[in-house]
Structures are given as structure tokens and as C-alpha cells.
Amino acid sequence: MLIGLALALTPHASTLATPTPQADSGASAQAAPKLDPQQVLWRGVDARRAQLRVRELVALGPRMGGTRSGDAAAAYVSKAFAELGLEVRIVETPERRTWQPLAWTLSVRVEGSQEPARRLERAWPWHNSPDAKGSALLSLESAPSVAWLTERAGRGASTAAVILASRPATSDGSWPVPGRLREGTAQPCFGIAKPEAELLRGWLDAGAKVRVDFELDVETRSAAIRTVVARLPGRKGGEAWKAPYFLFCAHGDADSGGPGADDNASGVATVLEIATAWKRAIDAGASAPVHEVRFAIWGSEIESTRHFLHTRVPADGELLGVLNYDQSGFGSGADQVNVEPDDLPGNAALVNALVAVMRERADADASEPGDFPSRFATNKSLGGTDSYVFSDSELFKSRALPAVSVFSSAWGAAGEHKRTSGMPGESWRERDKVGVDYDLYYHSSGDTPENTTDKEPWNMAWCARVGCLGALRYLEALP
Ligand SMILES: [Zn+2]
């Protein structure tokens, strides 16, 4: 049986995407006194809705830019923005080659045994693996027509019929991280979990003949990468798509090509929460942000961000700052939110505005369990996030514009970094270092909703609320 990646929306989609207006946006907005947008925004963010959105996005497939599931995710996000009543644009990169696994199965059995075949549930195909279907005997040596069991497959060609590689993997080896083969490689490679590899080695050690049955269906095509951008007009008005604006964003692809629940369906759901809460607050009578606010879901993390920066800034209006979400849905070690990078002068005002929101809320009565992170921190540049495409650019450097990421975990192991002088550092202790929480399932086939966002959906609500209010205050304070 093939493990199919559902390519249609689940039944939740229609109910989720249908907005439930909280007030008539016409008459009541004129009659009622203006609501405090900070209170309305805070309450308008819904962790449960974000949790469901992550499940729906993951069900679409790995959502890599330009692939079938990437397009489905762009359509999903576009629909969600449009149903809120926001104006939506699709920005496309030039076409390029894309690859997506559509369905696969990998099962093993001892020849001559009565035991049924065992499916390797955690297996995930490596990038650029070709279509394949076959059966081969397991071997610890790479040889023609065998199923080669190895720790490290490398990127190159093998004469084996199929490769089973137990690395790279999560730090405990329990979930494979899909690696990457060279384009045009003739044999497929599957990442498998360490316990699965140990089971197979045990069978071979006992002298068994082990048969591997495999099937993989992939799609390669040339296609543009779609980024979805939506706009929420500000009080200062201005021509559509030309006004100065602040940008909330998240990469919409799964980064590693795995399920990508925390990295980064969580970031997408967080941005959608901000858009939802803000638009509904305005519909209910709260004042609009002083400047226009836009939302971008990048089709491909770095490629789309660079393309946008080079082709749309400043043609689409003056960019006032960027708040990026990447891994805002889970943390293996702590209830913690981090803001980075805090070691760029242009980021200081926005970082401090975000931290001020968290400090105030931590001091306030946190009556609901899970209402707020017990820890928050600011840390220096760690590399690798799309907000750096902006903050490293000449435009952002020369104008000291902020580009900041808010997240609940980073990388696959806990980190500790030197605290930036003069910046907040850790909220819960005073020291020269800053801790960064991690996600055990980082980039692996275990980055599923069950393992991450379903366990701590409130992470996305924290990140959305902090970002909303921090950016709102930052914009109000601009000269
Ligand atoms: Zn990411």
C-alpha cells in the first residue's frame, strides 16, 4: 500500500476558511466608539484555529516551491486571505525544476518466515529520488541490484536498486532527515529511522535473508514558485500596493521537504492568525494600523525572499520593516519565545517593542493556562533564516530598517549564545548568555502536527500576539 500524501483540502478547510463576522463592518464601525486594537487583537488570535491550519497545510504535502503541493498551499493561503476580505497578489519567480514525492512504500520481510512484511513507517524519500518500484535483497555492501543499508549514502550514484540510509537523522536517531541526491540519480534513497536500521542489522546478523519491497512515485516539473501577498490598508491610506508598509512573513515550504509542521506550517498559521485577528478587529470597529500592513507567505524560503527583495522593493511601496515567523509552533525544551537578531542596530527598536509586550503580559495576571510563555529572550544572529535576506541587504543596512524573526525553537539541538550587550537577553535570569530552545523533530519526517504543533498550539498564539502588538506599537512610534 502506498502512503499517499493527500492533495486535497480536508473537510475542515471550508469551515475554517469561512470567516465568522463579529460585527457589521459598516454601520457599527461608524456608530461605536473605537475599540482598543491591542485588546481586540490579543483576544482575536486563536490557537485552536492555528492548530487546525497546520494540519491542513501538512496534509497538502511538503509544499516545496513550484511543486504541486506548493501550489496547493499557495491556493490555500490565498483563499484564507481573500475570505477575510484582504486584497491578494501572487508573486511568481521564474520557472525552475522542482521535485516532489507523491506517494511511497517501503517494507521489509525475512524470507521464509511466516511473519508478515513490516512497513518502515518513518521512511522518507530523499530529494531527487526517481520513480521506482521493485524488490531486492538487503545488503550492508553497495552492490548491483541489492537494497543497500548504510548509515550515510552520500549524494552520488550507487548501483544498488535502492538505498536505505539511517543518517542524517534527528539527534536521537529516531526520525530520518531527508537528504539530497544529485539530480538525475538513477536509484532512489530512503531515509529510515535508527531503530528500523537496527532491526534490519539484527536480522542480517542472525543470518536471515531480508527482502525489501519499495515503490516511489514522484513528480518533477518546471514551474514558477508562488508567493502569496495580502494587504491590510493603514489609516494613512495611499494608492493600493504603493503605500509604505510593514511586512509579516513566513516561508510556506517545508524547508527539508518533510512534513514541515513546525518548520514551517506553524509560521504560516501564525501569519494567518495575525491577518485574521487584525482584519476582524478593524471590522468590529477597532482602528486600522497607522501604516499599511502586508502579509507574505514565501513559496520558497530564501529564493522567494531574494526575488521579492530584488523585484518588488521599492516598486511596491516603501518597506518599513519585516517580522518573520519560522518555527513558531513548538519547542522541545521550554515554554519559550525568542526574538532575533538583536545585534543589528536597525533591529533594536522593533526588538524592544516586542519584548516590552512580553514583559507587560508576563507581569499581568496570566489567568489562562498556556496564556503566555514562561520565558522569552533576545539573541544574536544565528544565520539561516529568511529575515536575514532583508537585514543583510544594502537597503536595510543603509536605512537601519528592522527585519526580525520571532520563534519558539530553532535548529535540532539546544543552543546557547553570547548575549548582545545592551539588549534584553533572557527574561528569567541575568547572565551573559542566551538560551535558544530546539525542536527534536527539526527537518525530519517526524515534524508532524502530532509531534509538534498539536502538543503546544499555544506557541503560535503567543508568537502571533507578540508580533501583532509589537509591530503595532513600533509603527505608531515611527516619526
Ligand atoms: Zn524554517
Contact (CB, 8 A) for 387 and 322: yes
Check residue 315 and give its pLDDT: 93
244's grid cell: 509604505
Check residue 366 and give its pLDDT: 55
Ligand 1 centroid to 253 CA: how many Å?
8
Check residue 20 and give its pLDDT: 39
Ligand 1 centroid to 338 CA: how many Å?
14
C-alpha dist (Å) from residue 269 to 7, 231, 262, 297, 423? 19, 17, 10, 10, 29
Ligand 1 centroid to 331 CA: how many Å?
14
Q: Across the 479 residues of the chain, what is the mean pLDDT of every consecutive 10-residue run?
A: 37 35 42 73 95 98 98 98 98 97 98 96 97 98 96 84 97 97 94 98 98 98 98 95 97 95 98 97 94 97 94 94 97 94 95 94 63 87 82 93 96 95 95 96 98 97 96 95
Ligand 1 centroid to 385 CA: how many Å?
7
Backbone φ, ψ for residue 246 (5° rounding): -105, 140
Domains of the chain and any CATH numbers: 29-95+224-477 (3.40.630.10), 100-221 (3.50.30.30)
Task: Name the residue type at position 90.
Answer: I
Ligand 1 centroid to 152 CA: how many Å?
24
239's grid cell: 494608492
Angle between helices 458-477 and 348-363 (to 10 degrees): 120
**pTM of the complete model:** 0.92
Check residue 1 and give its pLDDT: 36
Backbone φ, ψ for residue 227 (5° rounding): -110, 135
Ligand 1 centroid to 375 CA: how many Å?
21
